[in-house]
Structure 1
Amino acid sequence: MASDSPTTLSSAVLHERLLARLRLRHLKLIDALAAHSHLRRAAEAIHISQPAATQMLQEVEGLLDMPLFERHARGMRITEAGRLLALHARMVIDAMQVASDGLAALAAQETRALRIGAIEAAIASVLQPALTTLHAQHPKLRLFIEEGNIERLTTGMRAGALDAVLLRQPARVPDAHRFVPLRSDSVVVIAGIGYPAAQRKRLRLSDLADSRWVLPPTHFAVRQVMEAAWAAEQIVPRPHAIQVLTPQLVRALLSQPDVVVPVPRTVLDQLDRSAVVELPLRMNAPIAPLGILYRTDNAVGPLLLLVDFLVAQAKKKA
């Protein structure tokens, strides 16, 4: 075990140790332990013996001078250090899978599959309407599409596990990256078809004073837009006791006649419009558009083809 204490071990020293002594087999074990929380089951999952797994774990913990898992009677409990390393182990393993797919495609003289990450709104509003035409026009283009939240997907792209991410325009586009907007968006307020004022031609926010609002967290763009609108009209909304973001659960709440929900207009693509009505509020409430983020040095071949196709589809709908 190295002599440096965890409190004095610098990032530079750790980096050099990891580059010099950490092996992919170590990362496979950490990933398996994070998934199984049990040494024997993790060893079986990566096809090594339990004594070998014990030795490998000791090697990694000795390398880092910190425990990654706490042993207890029923298995193992991951530490914060273990959780962090397991996250990056998974990204390295995913990146190696991307490399393997590309090399296999080259060997077979095929086009490698693009790995595309997408948030739920982008899947419904950008990908879903385009996939049938995309496949018809480019049958040899292969896509692997993964849904996730923005933080997880952008981390995956930085690690090389994803070629591009469909998401809302970030406040700052990272260096050596490009964001291409594909669909504009704005805030709308929806209710169920049983909402008392659903058939009116015009509403003001004050007309919704007796309604219960299902609201996103304060850091969401939709919430910030609504906070500004309420402040302008000096309105204090009544929050619903249940706060959800998932469209399927929003639908359930909208069956209650006094419930209203502010959402991005693109969320309407995920809802059954026969059961939902957009309330006729006149709000100038744009939010960040949906688009595709990718590294500029990766914009060749299949990825460039996909970007050009999505831009062309967006222009047709504009």
Structure 2
Amino acid sequence: MARPVSLDRAVNRLKLTQLRLLIAVGKHRAILHAAQELNISQPAATKMIKDVEADFDVRLFDRTNRGAIPTAHGRALIRHAQLIFAQLGNAAQEMKDLTDGATGRVVIGTLVAGSARLVPHAIGRVLAERPNVTIKVVEGTNEILMPRLRTGEIDMVVGRLPTHRHRRDLHQLALGEEKIHLLVGRAHPLAQRAGLSFDDLRPFGWILPPSETTLRRQIDEAFVEHDQYQPPVIVESVNYLTNRALLGQGKLIGLAPRQGVLLDIGTAMLVPLDFELPFGSGPIGATHRGADQLSPAAKVFLQALVDEAAA
């Protein structure tokens, strides 16, 4: 079904400068600051916004005492504008890679569950077949990585799949199941004890993921179910090297995916506690914007993830 002529005209009249301005206003919540960022006058910026609003016959920003607040239409156009610039940046980088003799580029966001085995082994598979592919790995939580995935800065996120949040407009590919362990350092008083109960854990501090993560919500619910338990000490961290060093001091309890700690368990640097969590098993896999949004290099990497998971 053909789009209305007016909409075609609006799209054809749209300029990259206008899109940059919309993104800047959305960021600063002020037309003046956005105009300064783009080195244009405020009246010129205001006219550019009014032109876009007139072309699409919508209001993009509400002028309030809190500044210029994007409307639903404004947020939608800003989101797509960010994706357009991310794709243009990817295209420019890919052309540079081709000029430099590379054969593509892929940006991978990795969570703890994917960073220890799945992602590095998949990278090994890709580079064995295509040594000129450029691979960039970005670490973080879903709250950090998923917005960057939506705007096109990242091609896919690998790790524990979100079960509720961060699923809108995204595609998930499950690659297996992952189990969460409770861990301590080998010098911890509970390291060699069998048949632990929750009461045995109460005196010790915990290393926990940030409060906005699914795993944190699960452990907080478990604490509530055990008489509103509050750990005496809480360290919030998802950096594995930091967590491993803290656990090595022998005073804290931590949580980590099984695949991420197998090596340290094997060397007895870390010890899994003999305590069964009431949660913690969940799917791991890759989240992306859809097969049609993946570059050739990203498609190759996704297949490498599938092959590695099967192996």
**Common fold: TM-score over 0.5:** yes
Indicate how the Cα distance of structure 1 residues 262 and 226 shifts in structure 2: closer, same or farther if over 3 A, else same: farther
User: How big is the shift at 1:178?
Assistant: 5.4
- Report the AA paired with residue 29 of structure 1: L
Determine which of 1, 14, 17 is the counterpart of 1:25.
17
Deviates more, 1:156-165 or 1:116-125: 156-165
Which runs of 5 or more structure 2 residues have no equivalent in the other structure?
none
Query: Please, what TM-score do these two structures have when normalized by structure 1?
Result: 0.65
User: How big is the shift at 1:212?
Assistant: 3.4
Structure with the greater relative contact order (CA < 8 A, sep ≥ 6): 1 or 2?
Answer: 2
| Residue aligned with 2:307, SS | helix
| Residue aligned with 1:210, SS | coil
User: How big is the shift at 1:94?
Assistant: 0.6
Q: Paired residue for 1:290?
A: 284
Query: Please, what TM-score do these two structures have when normalized by structure 2?
Result: 0.66
| Preserved CA contact (<8 Å) 1:178 1:296 | no
- Report the AA paired with residue 115 of structure 2: I
- Report the AA paired with residue 79 of structure 1: I
State how far apart, in whole Å, the 2-side matches of 1:165 and 1:218 are.
17
Determine which of 132, 148, 153 is the counterpart of 1:140.
132
- Paired residues for 1:298-309 under 5 Å: 301-309=296-304
User: How big is the shift at 1:167?
Assistant: 3.4
Once the two structures are superposed, residues 16-48 of structure 1 have per-residue CA deviations (whole angstroms, 9 ceiling, x without a partner) of: 89646543211112334556773464124xxx5
2:252 is the counterpart of 1:262: no
Identity of aligned residues (%): 27
| Preserved CA contact (<8 Å) 2:62 2:70 | yes
| Preserved CA contact (<8 Å) 2:117 2:259 | yes
| Residue aligned with 1:292, SS | strand
- Report the AA paired with residue 113 of structure 1: R
Indicate how the Cα distance of structure 1 residues 84 and 268 shifts in structure 2: closer, same or farther if over 3 A, else same: farther
- Paired residues for 1:129-168 under 5 Å: 129-132=121-124, 134-150=126-142, 153-154=145-146, 157=149, 162-168=154-160
Deviates more, 1:96-105 or 1:129-138: 96-105
| Residue aligned with 1:29, SS | helix
Indicate how the Cα distance of structure 1 residues 188 and 78 shifts in structure 2: closer, same or farther if over 3 A, else same: farther
State how far apart, in whole Å, the 1-side matches of 2:41 and 2:17 are.
13
Indicate how the Cα distance of structure 1 residues 34 and 58 shifts in structure 2: closer, same or farther if over 3 A, else same: same
Indicate how the Cα distance of structure 1 residues 267 and 178 shifts in structure 2: closer, same or farther if over 3 A, else same: closer
- Report the AA paired with residue 94 of structure 1: A
| Residue aligned with 1:238, SS | coil
2:109 is the counterpart of 1:117: yes
| Residue aligned with 2:236, SS | coil
State how far apart, in whole Å, the 2-side matches of 1:115 and 1:218 are.
24
| Preserved CA contact (<8 Å) 1:211 1:259 | yes
